[in-house]
Amino acid sequence: MHTVLTLPNATLRQVSHPIESFDAEVILMFQNLATAMEAGPGGVGIAAPQVGILKRAVVVDCNFSMRPCKHHGRLFMANPQILEHDGEVLGREGCLSVPEWVGTVPRAKHVTVQFQNEKGELNTINTSGFEARVIQHEIDHLDGVLFIDRVVSTQDLIRRM
């Protein structure tokens, strides 16, 4: 199992590379990401850079979220990109890679996301609410951006107990 990297690890600030071939190694990577996500407290999403893999891959699963929301189940997302977004909503975020802090972050209310699944098949989903927030958070990781870079104010960062 992979260990989740935490700040100040420099890998978290690097831009990830696209996944170009879809094989057994990619399927195993997604399974390992899901296992690492499940091992974390309240994990609903994880990006490959968080375990030291600089590939454009995220797992999102809001099935067991404490925040009830409509969702698309467990998503293995390779090369995800937001095609459309609208609205803005503030919400509290935390991160497995920044475990000691939470903060208020503005995100798009609704997003349309295109991605390839673990087999390379192209998918497009429309989502909103908490699932949209999680997807945006995880895509940020692929570009070396953390939620603490987007907080409304550094005074808004709250140390977890």
- To the query of whether residue 131 is one of the catalytic residues in this protein, the response is no
The domain spanning residue 21 has which CATH number? Answer: 3.90.45.10
Flag whether 62 is in a domain. yes
Q: How confident is the model at residue 43 (pLDDT cuts 50, 70, 90)?
A: confident
Flag whether 1 is in a domain. no
- Rounded Cα–Cα distance for residues 45 and 4 (Å): 12
Flag whether 3 is in a domain. no
Flag whether 122 is in a domain. yes
- Per the structure, how many domains does the chain have? 1
70-129: per-residue pLDDT in tens? 788 899 999 999 999 999 999 999 999 999 999 999 999 999 999 999 999 999 999 999
Domain residue limits at 23: 10-159
Flag whether 4 is in a domain. no
Q: pTM of the predicted model, to two decimals?
A: 0.95
pLDDT, average across residues 17-41: 94
Catalytic residue among 93, 118, 131, 138: 138
Flag whether 92 is in a domain. yes
What letters, b where the CB count within 10 A reaches 16 and e where it falls short, cover 33-49?
Answer: bbebbeebeebbbbbbb
